[in-house]
Amino acid sequence: MSRARTFADLATASEAGNLGQTNLIINGDMSVAQRGTSSTSDGFYTVDRWSIYASQTEITQTQQSLTSGSPYELGFNNFARMAVTSASNNAGAYAQFQQPVEAQFIANSGWNFKSSSSFVTLSFWARSSLAGTYFAFFQSQDGTGYIRAKDFALSADTWTKVSLTFEGNSNLTINDDNGVGLYITIVPHYGTTYTGSGGNASTTTWYTLSNNKYLPTDFAQNWGNTSSATFDITGCQLELGQVATPYKHENFADNLKRCRRYYQQYDATNAYTRFALGVAYDGSSIAAPLNLPIKMRAAPTFASSGNFDTLPDTIDLDTFSVQHATADMVEFRATDSGNGLTTNRPYVIRSDNDTSAKIQFISEL
């Protein structure tokens, strides 16, 4: 590329308000997957910040590696995949990738979301095993909810760079808080319950949801009723302006830190990993405070799985519950149903010969 062309491209990006701006999508390169790399469940179960849902149609969601192709050549090493494991022609079937974006990040992004002459651009790489027309849409949550949908075409088994520009609208309300500002949704399949005539859906304007019609036209390729169909995405970016600039890569540590605002998982690194230090306040319960290394969006809920015991005395711990939590600290209670603890004695809480034990702190939108 010539130097003149480089400067021209930079000028275009600058005029569009994109130069140096932060990607409002978190983990758009699909590199962070704290929970795991494969799941048949719906919701946040593989790539961080991406809630992957299906109904009627059953899918497996996975984080996969890239070793070739256009996105790989641009620095992407991972993608998120939906694969149909049980097809359905039910009118109420659907499958979608979705990221909720925090309201205050939208409100302070520089986008005048109430102005039709102010724009943001969503770009991403997509690949489907079925050629056809697919959709992506924004959905606001504060005040009266509004939707803005756009369609895009894919050839079969071919990575395609999708770029969609969205204007503001005077009806939108996006609060300056830590709730959901916008849902960003990429749709491999909606059944006819959610598409077609009978509502307000359009690809040319913002609209309110009517009669459950999220999208204006049906999915002719019927991805959800095709056994083993796949749909892949990576390189998702949401930025100011009308130009999709090159993806703003960040190092893994910075990406993980942004993800940990919403979810933190700590896994056993050996059979007897030490997770926390607490004090028994009676014969059956240990109170254990933990300072979280990354402040979370809001006070998290706590979850655990696996086998745990104490050091000393190797007393089995049966249940965990939260006693008190803030965005950067959690005090949880570990319980011994056998009432074998010594009051006021300190105990280390550790995995009990279990390399799969883990604790989780959850503050998802």
3-state secondary structure of 225: helix
Measured CA to CA, the distance from residue 335 to residue 342 in angstroms comes to 12
CA distances from 153 to 55, 58, 67, 123 (A): 23, 24, 24, 14
Average pLDDT over the chain, rounded to an integer:
94
pLDDT at position 44 over 90: yes
Please give the pLDDT value at position 215. Answer: 98
Measured CA to CA, the distance from residue 264 to residue 292 in angstroms comes to 9
What's the whole-number mean pLDDT along residues 11-34?
71
pLDDT at position 12 over 70: no
Return the HEC string of 236-280: EEEEECCCCCCCCCCCHHHHHHHHCCCEEEEECCCCCCEEEEEEE
pTM of the full structure: 0.93
pLDDT band at residue 9 using 50, 70 and 90 as cut-offs: very low
pLDDT single digits (tens) 106-120 = 999 999 999 999 999
Measured CA to CA, the distance from residue 345 to residue 336 in angstroms comes to 14
Please give the pLDDT value at position 22. Answer: 87
